Amino acid sequence: MIDLDALVNEARLPRARVCGREVTVRPLTAAMAHRVAVVTAKDTTGADTLNVMLELVRQAVPSLTDDEVSRLTVEQIGAIVQLARGQVAEVEQALAEQSKTEGNG
């Protein structure tokens, strides 16, 4: 039997360092995934998409304060969204590529 509850087991959730501390990134809920899809499909300016992504960040990392969320970069927001979607390997690859680029700079 496949234990789908294990997907939300705290010990199995991705951990990330953000705002100088380690946090757990909770998985994207179906309701939030639907909300993101609806908002991004209708958004023509990008403002609504950014707002829903910030809402997703607050849901995925509830331990972040409003001040901490307001200081996140676009890259950090994107990485948290990817982690909430379970795209851990993609985030690790992006960080490795960034590290290589900075090393060659």
pLDDT score at 84: 92
* Residue 105 in this model has a pLDDT that exceeds 60: no
C-alpha span between 40 and 25 (Å, rounded)? 22
Cα 35 from chain centroid (whole Å): 15
Within 8 A by CB and 6+ apart from 11, the residues are: none
C-alpha span between 25 and 13 (Å, rounded)? 6
Confidence of residue 86 (pLDDT cuts 50, 70, 90): confident
pLDDT tens-digit profile of 23-76?
A: 999 998 889 999 999 999 999 999 999 999 999 999 999 999 999 999 999 999
Q: Do 104 and 47 form a contact (C-beta atoms < 8 A)? A: no
Whole-structure pTM over 0.85, yes or no? no
C-alpha span between 25 and 21 (Å, rounded)? 12
* pLDDT (average), residues 71-83: 94
Instruction: Return the percentage of the chain with pLDDT > 90, whole number.
Output: 67
